[in-house]
């Protein structure tokens, strides 16, 4: 609850200065009452996300917003399971799972958040907490291509304490490996994982070089010109690069196997190897 229309106007002006040829998605999350206004003011290449939605299409749920309402405002993204929803409004994993499932079924793209608190880190149960959140989340996902995972270290958000790049990379790597072992290699290679936790123009360049980082979920810095530096710091996501590398490796292995089949098998003559198309 930090913006009004005048803030959206200023943000729209700043966004016009961002490069339009980057291979990335830029999405602005805003309060539900301003979704339509933000969609009208922001450049069409910038996505707009609601910051929450309920788990069903309609009904007597005063104060809530549905996925259909978000789409009716011309928006295609929603942020679910945000740490503030989890910690202040005490939304449990089960409710967030139901929200994600309904949002995806309705056609929205989802930024699904997982987080650790200071207590989690101090007591050494960060991964135990995140693993439970991931397991609940995965049970709701019908299409991973429309899901971005956002990890937030709550103890490093507006506290004056910053997570080190090594601390962030350790968690991002664990999240990607969890996807690899519990969902699939393909999902692990292509799902974008982003970080939130006092990201600014001062630390975005160093963070952007992390092996498993695909972008940022930006808080207060999004309301300043820092956002331009943060966007510029982004690059092709590591998941895309990893996926492309794996496809190239697989293709190389396939070609090697074909050559061995054609030229080392004594039952085949060298000229029996014919061109293969559409591999």
Task: Check 64, 76, 82, 185 and give the catalytic one.
Answer: 82
Residues 137, 114 contacting (CB under 8 angstroms): yes
82 catalytic residue (yes or no): yes
Kindly provide the b/e burial profile for residues 180-208, where b requires at least 16 CB atoms within 10 angstroms of the residue's own CB. Answer: eeeeeeebbbbbbbbbbbbbbbebbeebb
Contact (Cβ atoms closer than 8 angstroms) between residue 145 and residue 207: no
Q: Check residue 217 and give left, alpha or beta (phi > 0: left; psi -120 to 50: alpha).
A: beta
Name the E strands within the chain.
Answer: 27-30, 47-50, 77-80, 109-116, 147-153, 192-196
Q: For this structure, is 152 an active site residue?
A: yes
Return the sign of the alpha-carbon dihedral for residues 203, 206, 209, 212: negative
Separation of alpha carbons 44 and 48, rounded Å = 9
- Residue 77 near residue 111 (C-beta atoms within 8 A): yes
Rounded CA-CA distance 232/17 in Å is: 11
Q: Are 38 and 28 in contact (CB under 8 A)?
A: yes
Catalytic residue among 152, 170, 185, 244: 152
Active site residues: 82, 152
């Amino acid at each position: 609850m930090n913006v009004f229309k005048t803030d959206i106007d200023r943000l729209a002006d700043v966004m016009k200065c961002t490069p339009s040829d980057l291979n990335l998605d830029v999405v602005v999350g805003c309060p539900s009452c301003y979704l339509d206004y933000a969609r009208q003011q922001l450049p069409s290449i910038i996505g707009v996300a609601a910051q929450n939605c309920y788990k069903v299409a309609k009904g007597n749920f005063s104060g809530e917003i549905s996925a259909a309402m978000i789409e009716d405002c011309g928006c295609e993204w929603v942020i679910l399971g945000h740490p503030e929803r989890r910690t202040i409004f005490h939304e449990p994993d089960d409710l967030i799972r139901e929200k994600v499932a309904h949002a995806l079924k309705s056609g929205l793209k989802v930024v699904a958040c997982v987080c650790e608190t200071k207590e989690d880190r101090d007591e050494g149960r960060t991964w135990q907490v995140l693993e439970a959140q991931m397991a609940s989340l995965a049970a709701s996902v019908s299409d991973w291509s429309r899901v971005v995972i956002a990890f937030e270290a709550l103890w490093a958000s507006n506290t004056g304490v910053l997570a080190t790049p090594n601390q962030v990379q350790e968690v991002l790597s664990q999240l990607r490996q969890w996807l690899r072992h519990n969902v699939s290699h393909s999902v692990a290679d292509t799902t974008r994982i982003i970080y939130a936790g006092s990201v600014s123009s001062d630390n975005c360049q160093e963070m952007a070089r992390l092996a498993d980082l695909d972008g940022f979920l930006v808080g207060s810095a999004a309301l300043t010109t820092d956002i331009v530096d943060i966007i510029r710091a982004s690059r092709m996501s590591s998941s895309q690069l990893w996926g492309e590398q794996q496809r190239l490796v697989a293709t190389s292995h396939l070609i090697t196997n074909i050559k061995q089949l054609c030229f080392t098998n004594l039952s085949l003559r060298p000229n029996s190897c014919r061109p293969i198309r559409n591999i």
